[in-house]
Amino acid sequence: MPRKFTSTEHLLRPDPRTGDMLASKFINCLMRGGKKSTAQAVFYRALDMVAERIRDKEPLEIFRQALENIKPRVEVRSKRVGGATYQVPMEVSRKRQQSLAIRWLLKSVRGKRGRPMDRRLADEFTAAYRGEGEAIKKREDTHRMAEANKAFAHFAW
């Protein structure tokens, strides 16, 4: 990270419709080309679709639980020891867990073509809420990789 890095986290405002900071962060990550109102509209339509599919819970709660299900607990990082590079499993900080979950969710949604973005997003929210879907598969692959390289955990210093 550069020395002169200043965090923009203090500039983040809660989402106007839901009043939620996580929703605001997600909308900012969803946004392309500075079109925030478009990103908000896509996100709200996706939440409305999720509310129609799963009626017993609040759609924002489903969104939060979906992200919680995607968050990785451990990941592998490259560590150079002597002349060899090892994949060392390490715990993931809360902030990085959140950013990885959002990134994986959006990557899986953007990878599917042929349908409107809000429908793809709603599908991925419901799939992640149920513990399935592409983003959950990515988390499982990450955990599997960490489990396979558990022998190199002593290099994590």
- pLDDT tens digit sequence for 4-39: 888 888 999 999 999 999 999 999 999 999 999 999
In the predicted model, is pLDDT for residue 1 greater than 70? no
Please give the C-alpha separations between residue 110 and each of 30, 90, 124, in angstroms, as whole numbers. Answer: 10, 28, 11
Average pLDDT over the chain, rounded to an integer: 93
Instruction: Note the maximum CA span of the chain.
Output: 57
Summarised one tens digit per residue, pLDDT across range 75-132 is 999 988 889 898 899 999 999 999 999 999 999 999 999 999 999 999 999 999 999 9
For β-strands 74-81 and 84-91, DSSP reports them as antiparallel
The arithmetic mean of pLDDT across residues 145-157, rounded, is 83
Q: What domains are there in the chain, each with its CATH number?
A: 14-155 (1.10.455.10)
**Residue 151 pLDDT grade (very low, low, confident, very high; cuts 50, 70, 90):** confident
In the predicted model, is pLDDT for residue 157 greater than 80? no
Determine the pLDDT at residue 87.
Answer: 87
Tokens of 64: 């939060």
Percent of the chain that is helix, strand, coil (3-state, to 5):
60, 10, 30
Q: Which amino acid is at 26?
A: F
Helices (H) and strands (E) in the chain, counts: 6, 2
pTM: 0.91
Report the SS3 class of residue 85: strand
Determine the pLDDT at residue 153.
Answer: 81
Determine the pLDDT at residue 62.
Answer: 96
- How far apart CA 70 and CA 4 sit, in angstroms, is 32
Instruction: Give the Cβ contact number of residue 62 at 10 Å.
Output: 22
- On whether the CB atoms of residues 61 and 74 are closer than 8 A, the answer is no
Determine the pLDDT at residue 2.
Answer: 73
